[in-house]
Amino acid sequence: MPITSKTFVRSTALLLLVGLLALIGIVGTNIWLADRSQVYLDEVIEARIARRAAVDLRASLLDMESGQRGYLLTLDESYLDPYEEARPIVLAQIDALNDVLAPYEVAAEPLQQLEADVAFKVDEMDQTIAQARTGNVTDAVARVLTDQGQQAMGRIMAFIDGLIEAVDERLIEGVGNQRSTGEALRMVAIVGGLIILMVVAGAIWAVLNYTQELANARRAVEQANTSLEERVRERTADLGKANEEIQRFAYIVTHDLRAPLVNIMGFTAELENSVEEVRAYMEGQEASADDPVASQARLAATEDLPEAITFIRAATRKMDGLINAILKISREGRRQLKPEPVELAEVVETSANAVHHQVADGDGTIETDIRVGQLITDRLSLEQILGNMLDNAVKYREPERPLRVEIRARHVPGNRVVIEVEDNGRGIADSDHERVFELFRRSGSQNNPGEGIGLAHVRTMVRSLGGDVTLTSQLGEGTTFIINLPRDSRGFLGRLGA
């Protein structure tokens, strides 16, 4: 069954969740087992320390007792060497044993008895040796024969033997616990590793199947695109030819319209001269109230005909402007665009300098913030675009405040750049934001000359470069034109040329 993108995402998410839970389980179990192993290790270490302290104490006491008996039998001071060596460290060994067994309350009473027995035994040995050194060997031997020291020594040995036996049992138990912990760690690692391997295998299987599906889909798309690209190429060529025909037709039509318009303008000039002569003649004649025809002729010559000629001249001038605008757009459409390296900051500076005197006359300013270097585009089109933007800013500025224009440029994702031209002019109403880009359409009061082709021409040029232009504006506050262009227009212009 084919794997859809939704199935792939769900299965991958499920596998990742299982892998994550397995990893968390492995880590958590390992941490717990490591803590237990450390506890067992600490117990083993404590047991070994306690055993060592008990063995050392026993050895020291036996060395002292052997030295005492040897001296009492021979009165030879050399027999006291082991006694003298062990005597100073016995108390330190008792303290070490106390430190090890202090956490265990059950050992408190036996330790007190041990300390008392050791103190008694050491005191007995000290006294008997002192008596023997003074020559009173009989009293010393008699003190030994009371067996009190032997009984104390027996209790000491019994405590130490019992402690060593308990410690040995603890050591055996601790080693067994550590061995069990190690086995548990090994099993957890094996089971966790198997689970993770299964998750990885499942993920690989899902990825391979999904990749195969993508490859099949890509091949199908490529096959479809092969024929689609051919159709698009044919349609583009047809559109190009149709566009050329339209531009040629517009040029021919406007050219043919200009001829009768020129005739009209010429005859209007002759008519205006004739009307002036008739007007001068009629004004030189005396008006007769009894002849209504003469009054009407006089009115027509002095008022009606001059007014009509004025209207005719205004209409012909308007028509001439529109024909010139259509011719301009037609010529631009036929111009071959030439992509070349263009320094945007240089073009912006040149365009700003072109209107600097108009801006400066009203204490206005033009500020630039260009964070884009070189573009590959048609220089003339870019200069015309920026020139139109700045001309509009000057033309539609707010008379009550100095004009402020800011030109910004920055890179945006997709290997494109955005150029913003912001002014504080009179602004554009919300309903006209898209309308101003239509041919022969204008916004707001028509107190400035123009045919309404500037922004339409700008949008045509921007789109011919592979970009688009939009605006944001608030009436009475200003307008920002946003031009989005490719950083390199060669690919787009190449497709148009093909």
Tens digit of each residue's pLDDT (9 = 90 or more) over 122-151 = 888 888 888 888 878 787 777 777 778 778
Annotate 159-190 with DSSP letters as a single string. HHHHHHHHHHHHHHHHHHHHHHHHHHHHHHHH
* Of the candidate ranges 247-261, 361-375, 397-411, 466-480, the one whose mean pLDDT is the lowest: 247-261
| Alpha-carbon torsion (405, 399, 425, 326), positive or negative | negative
> Cα separations (Å) of 9 from 12, 22, 210, 291?
5, 20, 10, 100
Give the pLDDT mean for 355-380. 90
Q: What is the pLDDT of residue 120?
A: 83
Find tokens 């002019």 and name the residue.
425
- Helix (H), strand (E), coil (C) string for 299-340: HHHHHHHHHHHHHHHHHHHHHHHHHHHHHHHHHHHHCCCCEE
Phi, psi dihedral angles at 468 (to 5 degrees)? -155, 160
**Chain centroid to CA 431: how far?**
37
**Residues 125/131/134/136 CA torsion (nearest 10 deg):** -140
The DSSP 8-state label assigned to residue 401 in this structure reads S
pLDDT number for residue 367: 93
**Pair 408, 369: CB distance under 8 Å:** yes
Question: Residue 328 pLDDT > 70, yes or no?
Answer: no
User: CA neighbours within 13 Å on the CB side: how many for 204?
Assistant: 6
Q: Which amino acid is at 317?
A: R
Cα 496 to Cα 339: distance, rounded to the nearest angstrom = 12
Cβ–Cβ under 8 Å, residues 407 and 346:
no
